[in-house]
Chains A and B, each alone.
Chain A
Amino acid sequence: MPASEIREPEGRGASVVVVGGGVTGLSAAWWLARAGVDVLVIEKGIVGWEASGRNGGGCSHHHSPLFAEEQRLWPLMDELLGYPTEFQPNRIRIALNEKQLALYSRAVVNARHQGFLIDEIDAKQVRELVPLAGDNVFAGHYYHFGGHANPHRTVQGYAWGLQDLGGRIMQHTAVTGFAADGGKVVAVETDKGNFGCDHLVLAAGPQTGPLAAMLGLDIPMKVARAEMIVTEALPLMPLGGVDGNGLYGRQTLRGNLAYGGGPHEWVETEQLPGGARPSTPLMQSIAKRVAELLPLAGHAKIIRSWAGLIENTPDGRPVIDRPEGWDNLTVATLSGVGFGLSPATGHAIQQLVTDGACSFADLSTLRLARFARLEPDWAALQGWQPMAMAS
């Protein structure tokens, strides 16, 4: 609906209420506020506390319809937000064997298809560009796009930028239900009272499915745990966006090596509240691969390991849609890959809310309706089930 049709807030509500103070919800709210919309974000905990603030910080999603906008926006984000994101352009992906190189080469095809450049570089070139790399390099790719940013700082930048524009954020506020009138959501019910809305955006990560279910919508998703590690700071490499060898991650601007990858664990969605985000000895297997990727950093001490919970749709692709059956609802789950795309995602959600359609990207592959004929036992069919716990 056009912004002009959105009514003034009633009571403590807002024209648009965004449920979920993660990177997607905050970006959407920030874009809405930029468009002059009165917006309120409701977050059960602290902004950016979950996977939004715990990820690898990568910004090069060349498979996504939002890729071009992602690339356009990242270099502008510090200025647009007014707060530092630590965005650093470009990326080097290192293959330690032929198999990895073949796997990583899909990126070259995707980038070229969209007019972006990736150089194929040999082992010697990799070592020249990556001082911590070793003799085990097979080959690499140099992306003249993408890059990485600091998730903590970016998430807070969205929150502060939103507040600077007059948007509101309620932290420590849990949604308990919705009030509807016909095909419209009229209020969000929380443990701190009800908030009227003219439009509702659901962007609550793993909670998006259960929340949508309260509105009679089935957004199929399962939750898994993934782990990362970070080392003490090392001297800065010329380019921090270095990964590969089955890892995603980066050298931060402070100099720490932050990497993740490897097997995930499917967990019970019901166990989400309560906050347990345990990391496991998988840390050791990640460390092994970081030491292989950057052998000259083998002496670096690990100073933390951590885990995050991530929602996944059956095909692993986002849902960004105004689902049928509701006049004033927009749903967004990024299926675990939300941080890098967030500048573009928020922009797309803003346009879905205010204009009914996205002007800069074709979101048809992200519609919820693609799951209309999904097998009811899809999760079991894909093996996406929690393990029986050892006693």
Chain B
Amino acid sequence: MTVDYRSVADKKLAVEGHAQLLVIGAGPAGLAAAIEGAQRGLSVVLIDENPVPFETMGESVPLHFGGRVGGAARNRNAMMEAMLESAPAIADAFELGVDVRLGTACWGLYANGANLGWMPAPLAGLADEENGTHLVSFERAIVATGRRDMGLAFPGWEQPGVMGASAAVQLATRYGALDGSRAVVLGSTAEALLAALTLRESGVTVAAIIEQAAEPVGPADLVVQLRAAGIDIHCGEVVRAVEADLNGVSGAVTRSGTILCDLIVLGIGAVPMVDLLDAAGCRLAFQAERGGYTPLLDADGRTSVEVIQAVGDCAGIWPAKSRDATVAEAEARHAVAAVAASLGVVGEGTAPAPPPGEAAYDIGAYRKDWVRASIIEAVGEPYVCQCEEVTAREILEVRPPRYLNWQAADNRERTLAAILGEGPPNPDQIKRLTRAGMGPCQGRRCREQVQALLALQSAVPLGAVPLAGYRAPVRPLTLAAAAPKNEDPAFGEQWDSWFGMPRQWVPFWDVDDEYTVASLAVEKPHASE
């Protein structure tokens, strides 16, 4: 058979290592999966990006750390020890023979499928300080990447001290490296209320909880618990402005006054961390009862990509699960039983984990209401996309980015409605035109806000707005670090700017009247464009 040597057909990817079961994320779900896998006799590699290098945390990766990573996080050994201490099950997994790799990020998952067939096996792109960037093959992957926090713009939200609830809790409880002592928490979701309680237990003073709705939306018993602890929930309020000094946030300004604080903790939406799943091509859908865009899973936690499963928060967040880690752990064990069965390893089945009940409140309406109250009704125009400095108005009017300094020649207005046509507003299209979400944080801070803005503007439910897509690498990777260390020489030998076709770039005055494959026997000067 003829081979197109300019294609991928004869190129070999350098794969360094193999896992029968690759588990991504060593939180409760990931650890339960790894341990269950080892106990069932599978060869398991468990990776977790934590502890994330100090500089990377400073860039709010993977969570919205908001410039509040304390100096303790500079000491990598201490961070590693703190992480091991915070999760004794990591040691258990290690004892059981799991290949545990901490400080190892997964920036891409790849599996052959539609329009892709050249890879030798399912692959994971990993990166760590010791081994750099490398590919590992796997038979099954269980993604347990957890959650992050929905961003929310208000004037001053770029100040150090405005951070995600998950980020604040992680710094406070796992690393003892939260640089702040007095918090205002935004949102009254179960996750926000739990974060407030956890921060309080960690020695942080919770000055107030601010809720734009008329009543808290989280579980009543948590509300009672917080109020008993003397924490006020200010309903019908948003942060109108931030008072700041050289260290960042010094107060949160609301209609009823300024609350002194050095932390403003965003708890309006715990968001399943689906970046890796989406970039891998797993089908996602907006599932309100699961906290937003989450993978479509079968009863065994399998995504639409057969070799990839999802468990824990990245598969769905709901109050009962947020309050009780055994739910995520049960999901993990059930998924591993399915992995074992699919790989022909005999073992007992497990009971499925309890599914989410009906959502206690309408998260779509809740998030839209927050965005309306905090951004659209803001005094001033905060940047929704901090990386590219794009305001809500610029997003909704689909304005070319400011660096173009573009002035329309006449009164033509190109608002969202003008490009909608017959379909729903598409955040990826808005992103391409306004650059909102196109910065180095890869839209982690603005994605859900843009979704809510588009839903508000076009008067559709939040879930009717598609997810702005994620693309590998879903973690920061420099050009130099990404370069493959052991590239197959065939890449270099046959590399061409484009397809390397013999006749494509022949100048038009030198082209034959007819084209046949046989005519290629006559060589013409090769060009490359």
Contact = CB atoms under 8 A, between A and B. Distances in A.
A373 B112 CA distance: 36
B404 A253 contact: yes
B110 A281 contact: yes
B482 A283 contact: yes
Interface string A357-391: 00000100100001111110010111111111110
A233 B435 CA distance: 12
B504 A276 contact: no
A248 B422 CA distance: 35
A124 interface: no
Interface string A133-152: 00000000000000000001
Contact of B423 (A113, A172, A274, A335): A172
Contacts of B412: 82, 160, 164
Interface in A208-248: 224-225, 231-233, 243, 246-248
Q: Chain A, interface size: which category? A: 35 or more
A381 B517 contact: yes
A390 B117 contact: yes
A302 interface: yes
29 contacts: A62-B507, A63-B504, A103-B528, A104-B528, A106-B528, A107-B529, A113-B507, A159-B419, A248-B497, A248-B498, A253-B403, A261-B498, A262-B495, A263-B6, A278-B115, A280-B118, A281-B135, A283-B108, A283-B482, A288-B484, A298-B480, A309-B115, A317-B503, A336-B498, A371-B514, A382-B2, A383-B5, A387-B8, A387-B117
B430 to A, nearest CB: 11
B418 to A, nearest CB: 7
A110 B439 CA distance: 39
Interface stretch (B93-101, B120-128, B203-211, B329-337): B120-128
A345 to B, nearest CB: 14
A65 B511 CA distance: 11
A316 B116 contact: no
Contacts of A267: 115-117
Interface residues of B, number: 93
Interface in B383-442: 388, 400-401, 403-404, 406, 408-410, 412, 414, 418-419, 421-423, 426, 429, 432-433, 435, 438-440, 442
A337 B527 CA distance: 15
B124 to A, nearest CB: 10
Contacts of A378: 516-517
Given A316-B499, A317-B503, A303 B527 contact: no
Contacts of B433: 152-153, 156
B220 interface: no
B525 A106 contact: yes
Interface residues of chain B: helix, strand, loop or mixed (majority): loop
A86 B529 contact: no
A163 B414 CA distance: 11
Interface in B338-373: none
B91 interface: no
A383 B495 contact: no
B11 interface: yes
Interface of A: 46, 49, 53, 61-65, 79, 82-84, 86, 103-104, 106-107, 109-110, 113, 152-153, 156, 159-160, 163-164, 169-173, 192, 224-225, 231-233, 243, 246-248, 253-254, 257, 261-268, 271-272, 274, 276-285, 287-291, 297-307, 309, 312, 314-317, 335-337, 362, 365, 370-375, 378, 380-390
B8 A110 contact: no
Given A264-B6, A381-B517, A288 B529 contact: no
B480 A299 contact: yes
Contacts of A79: 409
Contacts of B525: 106
A382 B7 CA distance: 11
B119 A375 contact: no
Given A316-B504, A371-B515, A383 B479 contact: no
Contacts of A63: 504-508, 527, 529
A299 B478 contact: yes
Contacts of A53: 432
A61 B527 CA distance: 12
B115 A389 contact: no
A254 B439 CA distance: 10
Contact of B406 (A84, A171, A374, A383): A84
B81 interface: no
Contact of A65 (B423, B508, B516, B517): B508
A65 B429 CA distance: 33
Interface stretch (B188-196, B222-230, B446-454, B469-477): B469-477
A374 B401 CA distance: 48
Nearest to B508: A65
Contacts of A303: 438-440, 442
B246 interface: no
Contacts of A362: 508
Contacts of B110: 278, 280-281
